[in-house]
Structure 1
Amino acid sequence: MNILVLNSSGRTELSVSRKLVAELVTELLAQSAEARITYRDVAAGVPCVDDLLISGLYIPQEQRTAEQRQALAFSDELVAEVQAADVLVIGTPIYNFGIPAALKAWLDQIVRAGVTFAFAENGYEGLLTGKKAYLVVTSGAVEAGSSLDHATPYLRLILGFIGITDVEIISACQLSMLGEQPISAAMDAIHHLQTVG
């Protein structure tokens, strides 16, 4: 089993989402000691989509300039990580009702026509099927699943768009109001996961 682990919190040592992601990875490794893990800290920097990248996306590979190929190289690397993964673990705080900009930049790099989704007869077809995603979601005040939570619905939508429809949410939200209780509940959910694969 290949596991891709993404952290997007701007915090490091004090990040609750990073702490819970680490606990989830430990649990997944306990279930599958042979698992191979790839770590990607998107908060460390993912370039935003720009004109050079966009122009390279919509022409055949053999017609791309050296600059366009270079602009696409990082996107290709990120896509390859997702394609190789059986399981994605995505840690995200809720910032201003949505996901961090770094996580959005990562999504913009991997959602690619003809690569991770295709234009189909009746709309679109996700090409990254057969994968499981865990969303580890934290917040200071917003309750996951509430009308103010625009992070988890968006992540379900965009992951489903590229074919990843088996999505499980582990949340520790409203930490500024509820203290440690949501963290304990999230830890309990992690320790009672159904066996993967």
Structure 2
Amino acid sequence: MKTILHITSSARAEESYSTNLGKEIINLLKVAYPLVVIDTWDLVQTPPPLYTSEMIQSFYISPAQPGYSEINELKYANELLTRLNSADIIIISTPTYNFTVSAHLKAWIDQLVRVGVTYTYNETGNRVGLISNKKVYLAIASGGLQPKGNLVKDYLADYIKDVFKTYVGITDIDTYRIEGTAFPNFLPNYREDLKDF
């Protein structure tokens, strides 16, 4: 049995293109894995806390310190880690806001990244992720069209991939998009966007 963690971060709720693209990915995964558990986490309904001075200080406390799991400032971050570790597959649905992720997803990522918990440093001083053997799918929606070409910077997808590879250790990441949602008479065709799934 597989567990899928579906992170949604659009304020458009059921009308969200990114959320519905993520649901289509889940439907395709159910074909390959008929027995699945879906854990949906709506970051708009349960927004992550923003950084405070006390929270940042807590993030740098060693996990080996007595009482670490009881630190109040780490409550949300610890729940995040529990749900992430329980999942085999992670689907992140996000709209594109000003070239990048929603504020809700950015705050969630800030809760995810923790030295000694999701990453450490090796003997040469390079970061090494501590969580692996998970698959991530990015379900991205944008009002415009993503420019094509090797020199084009994909601020949103590249940012998420870099965070997961460098600060978490997950490198198996696929990106799917639905584009042009702001165009007049736009009609979503999620299966077309997932034709190479």
Asked if the contact 2:180–2:186 (Cα under 8 Å) also holds between the matched residues in 1, the reply is no
User: Is 1:57 matched up with 2:59?
Assistant: yes
Aligned to 1:97: 99
Aligned 1:156-167 pairs, distance under 5 A = 156-161=161-166, 162-167=168-173
Name the amino acid aligned to 1:12.
A
Unaligned stretches of 5+ in structure 1? none
Asked if the contact 2:60–2:114 (Cα under 8 Å) also holds between the matched residues in 1, the reply is no
User: Is 1:150 matched up with 2:155?
Assistant: yes
Question: C-alpha displacement at 1:24, in angstroms?
Answer: 1.4
Question: C-alpha displacement at 1:62, in angstroms?
Answer: 2.2
Hey, what's the Cα distance between the residues in 1 that align with 2:148 and 2:170? 19
Asked if the contact 2:130–2:169 (Cα under 8 Å) also holds between the matched residues in 1, the reply is yes
Hey, what's the Cα distance between the residues in 2 that align with 1:20 and 1:40? 15
Question: C-alpha displacement at 1:179, in angstroms?
Answer: 5.2
Task: Tell me the TM-score normalized by structure 2.
Answer: 0.86
Asked if the contact 1:8–1:41 (Cα under 8 Å) also holds between the matched residues in 2, the reply is yes
Aligned to 1:126: 129
Between Structure 1 and Structure 2, the one with more helix by share is 1
Partner of 2:183: helix, strand, or coil?
helix
Aligned to 1:70: 72
Partner of 2:121: helix, strand, or coil?
strand
Q: Kindly provide the CA deviation profile for residues 33-64 of structure 1, in whole angstroms up to 9, marking residues without a partner as x.
A: 22222111112211112112122222344266
Structure 1 window deviating more from structure 2 (31-40 vs 109-118): it is 31-40
Q: Kindly provide the CA deviation profile for residues 166-192 of structure 1, in whole angstroms up to 9, marking residues without a partner as x.
A: 1111101122238546x32x4234365
Task: Tell me the TM-score normalized by structure 1.
Answer: 0.86
Asked if the contact 1:144–1:152 (Cα under 8 Å) also holds between the matched residues in 2, the reply is no
Hey, what's the Cα distance between the residues in 1 that align with 2:129 and 2:176? 24
Q: CA RMSD in A?
A: 2.3
Aligned residue pairs: how many?
Answer: 189
Name the amino acid aligned to 1:171.
R
Asked if the contact 1:141–1:175 (Cα under 8 Å) also holds between the matched residues in 2, the reply is yes
Hey, what's the Cα distance between the residues in 2 that align with 1:136 and 1:129? 20
Unaligned stretches of 5+ in structure 2? none
Aligned to 2:113: 111
